[in-house]
Amino acid sequence: MSNKTIAFIGTGNMSYAIIGGMIKSGFDAQSIIATNRNAEKLAKVAEQLSVRTTQDNLEAVAAADVIVLSVKPQMMAELCQTFQDADIDISNKLFISVAAGITVARLREMLGQPVKMVRCMPNTPSLLGRGVSGLYGVDISDEEKDYVEQVFSSTGIALWLDEESKINDVIAVTGSSPAYFFLFMEAIEEKAKSLGFNAEEARKLVQQTALGAAEMALSQPEISIAQLRANVTSKGGTTHAAVEHLKAQQLPKTVADAMDACIARAEAMEKEI
């Protein structure tokens, strides 16, 4: 494992998930610094992940070799300005931004210099080592590329992209998509409750089925997802009735349109921020 020190600036949902995945896979907690300007949130991170914590971003940046920018996109310019204003040499540090909708060029503008930069689009299942991270690097050495890959492989699957615009595609396919699956699960859970299952039963039934379906896909890569669906669907049977209804309601097109909306929003943010 590398001996680099990595600082997460703005440790909220996403960075908590990445750090959790890193710790679970054996990264040394003392090589990880987490910051948050909110003391309560930071105390929770210290207690649950046992990493080094500070409310002082500049202290963390000064101590780290690698800095993960993990605040909301709208907060990024204000944060980066504080690095520019401080008397810290960031020229040789590696920056990783997990923010949606801010390009490398814009991040470098915010930081006031052409720092080494990786854009990463992770997702929250990273917490369980089941994440997916799209990666796009600029001006990084092979050694830095290996380190970044080690970090994000520790939280799941890491995929290097050859064009920055593909980060927006990854947002639609994996960054945002846990929410699509949760929405589907919520809909089944609600309907189960309306059929008379109590809240605990409805939750258990839906989560176990989602897990079972995902594990069937994962454990049988030689069988297409369409075939797995067909295997549940008896001709003239109950599943057929449900699936035909979803198709008549244009579910596949609705999902594709939602993913286009996701990409369009990322592109719009690139102009706004």
Ligand X SMILES: NC(=O)C1=CN([C@@H]2O[C@H](COP(=O)(O)OP(=O)(O)OC[C@H]3O[C@@H](n4cnc5c(N)ncnc54)[C@H](O)[C@@H]3O)[C@@H](O)[C@H]2O)C=CC1
Ligand Y SMILES: O=C(O)[C@@H]1CCC=N1
Binding partner of residue 135 among ligand Y, ligand X, none, CB cut-off 5 to 8 Å per kind: none
Binding partner of residue 3 among ligand X, ligand Y, none, CB cut-off 5 to 8 Å per kind: none
Interface with ligand X, residue 75, by CB under 6 A? yes
Residue 30 near residue 5 (C-beta atoms within 8 A): no
Handedness of CA 112, 113, 115, 117 (dihedral sign): positive
Interface with ligand X, residue 20, by CB under 6 A? no
Residue 67, CB half-sphere, CA atoms under 13 Å: how many? 28
Q: Choose between 154 and 168: whose C-beta lies nearer to ligand Y.
A: 168
User: Which of 79, 118, 202, 206 is the binder for ligand X (CB under 6 A)?
Assistant: 79
Residue 116 makes CB contacts below 8 A (sequence gap 6+) with: 92, 93, 94, 95, 138, 139, 140, 144
Interface with ligand X, residue 84, by CB under 6 A? no
Which residues make up the interface to ligand Y (CB under 6 A)?
100, 171, 175-176
Handedness of CA 244, 246, 250, 252 (dihedral sign): negative
Residues 42 to 61 in contact with ligand X, rule: CB under 6 A: 57
Residues 116 to 145 in contact with ligand X, rule: CB under 6 A: 121-124
User: Which of 30, 38, 113, 234 is the binder for ligand X (CB under 6 A)?
Assistant: 38
Here the contacts of 186-189 (C-beta below 8 Å, separation 24 or greater) are none
Residue 116 near residue 123 (C-beta atoms within 8 A): no
Q: What distance in Å separates the CA atoms of residue 269 and residue 131, rounded to the nearest whole number?
A: 24
* Tokens representing residue 236 in the block: 């003239």
Q: Choose between 202 and 270: whose C-beta lies nearer to ligand X.
A: 270
The residue number with the shortest CB distance to ligand Y is: 175
Binding partner of residue 167 among ligand Y, ligand X, none, CB cut-off 5 to 8 Å per kind: none
The residue number with the shortest CB distance to ligand X is: 12
Task: Identify any residues that bridge with 97 across adjacent strands, giving them in sequence order.
Answer: 69, 119
User: Which of 4, 5, 24, 41 is the binder for ligand X (CB under 6 A)?
Assistant: 41
Q: What angle do CA 237, 240, 245 make, to 5 degrees?
A: 135
Q: What distance in Å separates the CA atoms of residue 130 and residue 174, rounded to the nearest whole number?
A: 11
Binding partner of residue 122 among ligand X, ligand Y, none, CB cut-off 5 to 8 Å per kind: ligand X
From the CB of 67, what's the least distance to ligand X, in Å? 12
From the CB of 14, what's the least distance to ligand Y, in Å? 7
| Residues of the shown chain interacting with ligand X in the complex, contacts defined by CB under 6 A | 9-10, 12-15, 35-38, 41, 57, 70-73, 75, 79, 98-100, 121-124, 175
